[in-house]
Structure 1
Amino acid sequence: MSETTAIDVLFEPDVAMLQHAQAANARLLRAFPKGYALDAAHQPHISCLQRYVKTDKLEDVFAGVSKVLMAERPATWKLTAFKYYYIPWEGLGLAGIVIRPTSDLLAYQQKLIDAVAPFTVPSGTAAAYFTTPENPEIVEPLIEYVAGFVPNQTGKNFSPHVTIGLAPEDYLKGMLAQPFDDFEFSPAAVSVYQLGNYGVAAKKLKGWTLDD
């Protein structure tokens, strides 16, 4: 086991978001069958914090997240999805559904950063990620992305989203040009996952069901 683990503290969304994400993923797979399906190894989620942490301090990380959840009520939040986006990568795009940040979401993220900070390390290697014999690689941009998640993807830079899959960039450009019908959803659970390739939530390490 690596001394460092790449983690994602995330929300698992309710049925409203799950249905939209699954439908969008099916659409991408029709356009690009070599992409990936949303399944047990690719769970739809909203990343709130990605960090490299000391593997032997994971229980402390879980305790810190649990303490934050005792002071917050995310299940009562109404979040709004309002557009698609994608990150280009070698002619392909990693696509997602973008969510409007709220003051509650930003405050929650900062509390997570503070709770996990004592157990973080500045960077990691591919060994910090969950891999399988069939998919042993971790793309280099992901390693750098997680190292810079704080501050590059937090606070005023936070763009919450649900990743929905891979497709050719030309296809995604057309998809983004089409109207997007806004919809509301709520967080249903909080989990800590070990990250896999492309930043997917690959291995569940800890979870909490949310109550209203």
Structure 2
Amino acid sequence: MKRNFLIAFLLILALTHSCGENQDKIIAIDVLLTLPEDVYDQAVHLNQSVLKNNPNNFTLDDQHIPHITLLQSYVKESDLPEIETLLVGLYKTIADETFVVDQLQYAKDKNKSFASMGMEKSEALMALHEKVIGLLKPYSVSNGSQVSYVQNEDGTPIDDFTIAYVPKFVSDYSFINFNPHISLGVGETTVLDSLAQHHQPTKFKAPALALYQLGNFGTARKLLWESK
């Protein structure tokens, strides 16, 4: 009898611990603006041009969508329903706003450089960026890890830079330091120089505000929520 009671107690304890672990799972998220088809295709094309000379890169596709990050953060997975509720209605504040991709950004004095499609920091974009940070601040945590991300298909670990970058997004890369952009990857400067010569400013409206789980190198991998 005592033995059966002990077994039952241990099973309950194990189940309770398992449920607690699931509730407290930490995930890396990206609150972002999606792109219209023409700008999406332009980003994919530029990314492919970068990949030709530097294949050790991320590939933009329907599993790694080009986007404009507003906030990256670690949060508890159990808090996602509340976070999604807070994001409802925010898209309406920028639905009619026209955004501008005005330059190809990269370090011209290096042999290789991270490249992106840089954007104008409009008042509407900055206001949305700051609003999202304020709403999600109570849910932000700092103890993310490898398992917080959508894993790489080839089994390689999530890059250490990515894991360290996310908890510093607000302190180091937001507000006055916010640089809205569409990431393209790391390319040879000679290639980027050539691409920059043909780059033209592009105006567009963002189709949606979305919440994604991050993958390696800050890629938007898993759609969690999207405005309607």
TM tier, smaller: 0.7 to 0.9
Is the CA contact 2:58–2:217 (under 8 Å) kept in the aligned structure 1? no
| Structure in which a larger fraction of residues adopt helix | 2
Aligned to 2:13: none
Is the CA contact 2:118–2:180 (under 8 Å) kept in the aligned structure 1? yes
Aligned to 1:57: 79
CA distance in 1: counterparts of 2:65 and 2:207, whole angstroms = 13
Counterpart selection for 1:181 from 190, 200, 211? 200
Give the letter aligned to residue 157 of structure 1. Answer: N
Q: 1:125 to 1:85 in 2, by over 3 A?
A: same
Structure number with bigger Rg: 2
Give the letter aligned to residue 66 of structure 2. Answer: P
Q: How many residues of Structure 1 are paired with residues of Structure 2 in the alignment?
A: 204
Measured against aligned partners, the alpha-carbon deviations of 1:19-41 in whole angstroms (never above 9, x if no partner) come to 32122122223333443432122
Is the CA contact 1:12–1:190 (under 8 Å) kept in the aligned structure 2? yes
Partner secondary structure for residue 187 of structure 1:
coil
Question: How high is the sequence identity, in percent, across the aligned residues?
Answer: 28
CA distance in 1: counterparts of 2:219 and 2:30, whole angstroms = 9
CA distance in 2: counterparts of 1:67 and 1:178, whole angstroms = 39
Deviation at 1:131, TM superposition (A): 0.3
Aligned to 1:81: 101
CA distance in 1: counterparts of 2:53 and 2:144, whole angstroms = 34
Is the CA contact 2:104–2:196 (under 8 Å) kept in the aligned structure 1? no
Deviation at 1:11, TM superposition (A): 0.5
CA distance in 1: counterparts of 2:141 and 2:58, whole angstroms = 30
Residue 156 of structure 1 pairs with residue 176 of structure 2: yes
Is the CA contact 1:85–1:176 (under 8 Å) kept in the aligned structure 2? no
Measured against aligned partners, the alpha-carbon deviations of 1:166-206 in whole angstroms (never above 9, x if no partner) come to 4335533x347636321111111111111100110011111
Aligned to 2:5: none
Is the CA contact 2:211–2:223 (under 8 Å) kept in the aligned structure 1? yes
Unaligned runs of 5+ in 2: 1-21
Aligned to 1:141: 161
Partner secondary structure for residue 39 of structure 1:
coil
Partner secondary structure for residue 143 of structure 1:
helix
Aligned to 1:11: 33
Deviating runs (4+, > 6 A) in structure 1?
none
Is the CA contact 1:75–1:187 (under 8 Å) kept in the aligned structure 2? yes
* Farther-moved stretch of structure 1 (16-25 vs 54-63): 16-25
Is the CA contact 2:115–2:184 (under 8 Å) kept in the aligned structure 1? yes
| Structure in which a larger fraction of residues adopt strand | 1
Aligned to 1:109: 129
Residue 126 of structure 1 pairs with residue 146 of structure 2: yes
